[in-house]
Amino acid sequence: MLNRTIAIHCIFTLFLLFNTASANDSLFNSLEDSILFYHKKINKYQEYSENAVYNKQIISFLEQSLSKKESFSYSFDSLAKIISIQKSPDDLFRIFTWNTLSNKGEYENFGFIQINNIKNDSYKLYQLTDKSDSLSNPEYKTLTVSNWLGAIYFNIIKYPEKNTNHYILLGWDGNNLFSSKKLIEVITIDAFSVSFGKPIFQCNNTLKNRVVFEYSSHTDMSLRYDEKKEMIIFDHLSPSNPLFSNRPEFYGPDFSYDGLYFENDKWNLVTDIDIRNPKPETKQVEKKNNK
């Protein structure tokens, strides 16, 4: 009799879970449709104020979705073409980022971070506020979710150190009609806060909180993480003419490559690398220089 009671209880529990999951999926599907509806209304040729109204609706519907803990396991596949969705390698958090383009050709970035900490059974949602226009010397600052150097993130890299709450983000910012940006960012996930930036990038005897590249909007630069080589690899940028050395809108790839490798708690810059096998050569050169 007891076994039968337990079996009935298990079946009933599974029934409730199935129906709850189905209800949540229906809700998320509906919210996805609403987001797509308003995104289609955004047009770079119309007034920015009108686009801002539609984007506020996108923010509202996305916040409704992500405020529910159950959303963390929902894929939001139908939003993939309009919103970048990146999940950390350890499944601790996801970042949703997107942008809008004004009729002046300037980009503004938006985003949310959802954190699902299974260890302490906590769930948190943070909205990101782009303050790029008001930030001076952003490569040397620690920032917050309300004071964010906006970007659309396309990769989250597992930090080389074990048992750490730091992660590396690779991102792109459309910036304006003349130049675009890519960045290597650090995000730190604490129990009660999220922060961006950490002085761990050793570049030409200068310690930076993040690395920002700016280049012509008419070209593109490569920025990627090579897992086998454990190295962040990117195009070296040069001006099209030496006269434009102070004009990032005239910069572009010059067919050479630089990289960052992790050693002694820092990401260290090495220039003019052989991308076929950069890491061993880098360490060999350093050992020779240290003799």
- What amino acid occupies position 63? E
Cβ neighbors of 123 (< 8 A, separation 6 or more) are 69, 72, 114, 115, 116, 117
CA distances from 55 to 37, 79, 125 (A): 11, 14, 19
Task: Read off the pLDDT of residues 146-196 as tens digits, 9 standing for 90 and up.
Answer: 999 999 999 999 888 888 899 999 999 999 999 999 999 999 999 889 999
For residue 85, what pLDDT is reported? 98
Is 208 a residue whose pLDDT tops 80?
A: yes
Q: Is 28 found in the same domain as 171?
A: no
Q: Which of 51, 70, 89 is the last residue of a domain?
A: 70
Q: Is 14 found in the same domain as 110?
A: no
User: 223 is in which domain, residue-wise?
Assistant: 81-289
Is 2 a residue whose pLDDT tops 60?
A: no
The 10 Å CB-count burial string (b at 16+, else e) for 102-125 is: eeeebbbbbbbbbbbeeeeeebbb
For residue 22, what pLDDT is reported? 62
Mean pLDDT lowest among 61-70, 87-96, 212-221, 272-281? 272-281
Q: Is 52 found in the same domain as 86?
A: no
Q: Which helix (H) or strand (E) holds 52?
A: helix 48-66
In angstroms, rounded to a whole number, what is the distance separating the alpha carbons of residues 51 and 177?
18
Q: Is 64 found in the same domain as 115?
A: no
State the Cα torsion 178-269-165-150 to the nearest 10°: -10
Decide: pTM greater than 0.75.
yes
Q: Which two tokens stand for residue 13?
A: 């529990």
Closest CA to 33 of 89, 82, 69, 72: 82
For residue 78, what pLDDT is reported? 96
Q: Per the domain annotation, does 76 fall within a domain? A: no
**Which segments of 21-121 are extended strands (E)?**
84-87, 93-101, 107-117
Task: Read off the pLDDT of residues 39-62 as tens digits, 9 standing for 90 and up.
Answer: 999 876 677 888 999 999 999 999
- The whole-number average pLDDT for the span 200-205 is 95
Instruction: List the beta bridge partners of residue 188.
Output: 166, 195
Q: Per the domain annotation, does 191 fall within a domain? A: yes
**DSSP 8-state symbol, 130:** B
